[in-house]
Amino acid sequence: MSQFQRVGDYCMMALNTQHNLTLTEAEISVILFNLEEKYGHLLDGEIPEEVQTIFSKLEGSVDKYYEKVEKAQSKQPTMEW
């Protein structure tokens, strides 16, 4: 299956094409905050699967970063004075 769909004279990417981009933690926080504002009152089964997936990917990315930082910090020697 092609990654592109032709619409008239235009070639459009398929909706499931993945993109890699860089977001700051502040930008991720804004997105997560707004998702929670819009969907936070709903039960898990009521939240669209696409929204749950996006939320999980963004939150997981931040979690992985801090796990990596904690692991690196634990390898640092303890300062004794």
Determine the pLDDT at residue 40.
85
| Cβ–Cβ < 8 Å for 15, 2 | no
Determine the pLDDT at residue 28.
96
Determine the pLDDT at residue 33.
94
Domain ranges for the chain: 21-74
Determine the pLDDT at residue 25.
94
User: Would you mind telling me the total number of residues written for the chain in this entry?
Assistant: 81
1: confidence class by pLDDT, cuts 50, 70, 90: very low
The residue among 58, 1, 14, 4 whose CA lies nearest residue 34 is 58
The residue among 27, 26, 54 whose CA lies nearest residue 38 is 54
6-60 pLDDT, tens per residue? 656 666 666 778 888 999 999 999 999 999 999 988 877 788 888 999 999 999 9
4: confidence class by pLDDT, cuts 50, 70, 90: low
Indicate the pTM of the whole model.
Answer: 0.68
